[in-house]
């Protein structure tokens, strides 16, 4: 049998923390062992997943949750500016926010690599002043996912802000609430369904993000190898179908689960504020 030399690492390779941007001359594609998944040296877990596959699942969830949580306040602020603000450069901000939606993900990833890489302007700044390194770390994957999901989040929240009855805010101000309190006690609770919808969209986008992530932080098992990257890695090796299918099913379950959860939450919120 002849195998093609691959420079893609896949679950179980166990060489985490090493960027795999450069091809390595190593014959690392092993034959699958019968009845034990692709990787014989991995332990079997529940749901028929290997430890490394679980790592990919856990990492995906972690990246998606962090991406969602970190971008949420920023998205609310941006949506508020776009919905209510009347300032110079509003159209430019709008375009900038939507950029990740219209650019090829690989372009976004490459731009992130340029700006947030070790030698990039922003990357150096965050590394020097906050000790926060993005390149080839899971934090970078979260950054890429957050940026890719940002336009979706902002759009959902912006729509809900535009739907808020400003008269209620005026009523609150006549009762003595200052603008910050009006936002916290009236506007925010009323836009909660939109915020929730935006958060779920962002989470779903992050769970599925592939192009920008793999371009920016590569595909390092245990560090940046999220579900889509792991599936992709499986599809690149002979006999990886079973593993790809397992992770695909997991990916479907998580996405549908998130959607259902958000539906339940949104309905609960809507019932509470039914007008």
Sole binder of other proteins in the list 59, 82, 152, 186 (CB under 8 A): 186
Handedness of CA 91, 96, 98, 101 (dihedral sign): positive
Sole binder of other proteins in the list 49, 82, 147, 190 (CB under 8 A): 190
The angle subtended at Cα 152 by Cα 135 and Cα 62, nearest 5°, is 45
- Does residue number 44 form part of the binding site for other proteins (CB under 8 A)? no
Residues written for the chain: 275
Where helices occur in the chain by DSSP H, the ranges are 51-84, 90-102, 105-116, 121-130, 138-163, 166-174, 179-182, 188-208, 211-217, 227-235, 241-272
For residue 77, give every residue at least 6 positions away whose Cβ sits within 8 Å of its Cβ, in sequence order, or none.
none
Q: Which stretch binds other proteins (CB under 8 A): 78-86, 105-113, 179-187, 219-227?
A: 179-187
- Does residue number 170 form part of the binding site for other proteins (CB under 8 A)? yes
Q: Which of 6, 183, 227 is nearest to 81 (CA)?
A: 183
- The residue among 5 and 178 lying less far from other proteins, judged by its C-beta, is 178
Strand, coil or helix: 158: helix
- The residue among 145 and 269 lying less far from other proteins, judged by its C-beta, is 269
Number of residues engaging other proteins in binding (CB under 8 A)? 22
Strand, coil or helix: 44: strand
**Residues 76, 155: Cα–Cα separation, whole Å:** 10
**Residues 188, 130: Cα–Cα separation, whole Å:** 30
Q: Which stretch binds other proteins (CB under 8 A): 94-102, 163-171, 198-206, 237-245?
A: 163-171
- The residue among 94 and 169 lying less far from other proteins, judged by its C-beta, is 169
- Does residue number 36 form part of the binding site for other proteins (CB under 8 A)? no
- Does residue number 189 form part of the binding site for other proteins (CB under 8 A)? yes
**Residues 29, 51: Cα–Cα separation, whole Å:** 18
For residue 51, give every residue at least 6 positions away whose Cβ sits within 8 Å of its Cβ, in sequence order, or none.
42, 43, 45
- Does residue number 266 form part of the binding site for other proteins (CB under 8 A)? no
Q: Which stretch binds other proteins (CB under 8 A): 114-122, 139-147, 177-185, 195-203?
A: 177-185
For residue 156, give every residue at least 6 positions away whose Cβ sits within 8 Å of its Cβ, in sequence order, or none.
194, 195, 197, 198, 201
Sole binder of other proteins in the list 62, 173, 236, 248 (CB under 8 A): 173
- Does residue number 265 form part of the binding site for other proteins (CB under 8 A)? no
Sole binder of other proteins in the list 31, 171, 184, 260 (CB under 8 A): 171
Q: Kindly state the tokens that stand for 131.
A: 């000790």
Site string for other proteins, 216-255 (x = CB under 8 A): ----------------------------------------
Q: Least separation, in Å, of the C-beta of 264 and other proteins? A: 18
Q: Kindly state the tokens that stand for 102.
A: 């219209």
Q: Least separation, in Å, of the C-beta of 76 and other proteins? A: 17
* DSSP symbol at 39: -
Site for other proteins in 118-137 (CB under 8 A): none
Binding stretches for other proteins (CB under 8 A): 167-168, 170-179, 181-182, 185-186, 189-190, 272-275
């Amino acid at each position: 049998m002849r195998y093609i030399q691959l420079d893609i690492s896949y679950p179980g390779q166990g060489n985490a923390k090493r960027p795999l941007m450069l091809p390595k001359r190593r014959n690392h594609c092993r034959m699958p062992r019968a009845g034990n998944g692709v990787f014989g040296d991995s332990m079997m877990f529940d749901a028929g997943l290997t430890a490394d596959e679980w790592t990919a699942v856990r990492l995906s969830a972690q990246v998606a949750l962090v991406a969602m949580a970190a971008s949420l306040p920023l998205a609310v602020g941006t949506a508020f500016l776009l919905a209510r603000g009347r300032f110079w450069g509003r159209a430019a901000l709008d375009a900038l926010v939507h950029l990740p939606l219209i650019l090829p993900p690989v372009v976004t990833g490459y731009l992130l690599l340029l700006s947030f890489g070790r030698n990039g302007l922003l990357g150096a700044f965050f590394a020097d002043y906050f000790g926060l390194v993005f390149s080839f770390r899971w934090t970078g994957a979260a950054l890429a996912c957050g940026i890719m999901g940002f336009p979706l989040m902002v759009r959902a929240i912006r729509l809900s802000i535009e739907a808020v009855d400003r008269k209620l805010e005026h009523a609150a101000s006549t009762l003595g609430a200052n603008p910050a309190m009006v936002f916290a006690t009236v506007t925010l609770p009323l836009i909660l369904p939109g915020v929730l919808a935006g958060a779920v969209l962002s989470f779903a986008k992050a769970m599925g993000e592939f192009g920008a992530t793999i371009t920016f932080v590569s595909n390092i098992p245990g560090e940046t190898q999220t579900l889509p990257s792991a599936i992709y890695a499986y599809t690149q090796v002979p006999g990886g179908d079973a593993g790809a299918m397992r992770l695909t099913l997991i990916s479907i379950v998580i996405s549908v689960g998130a959607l259902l959860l958000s539906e339940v939450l949104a309905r609960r919120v809507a019932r509470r504020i039914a007008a």
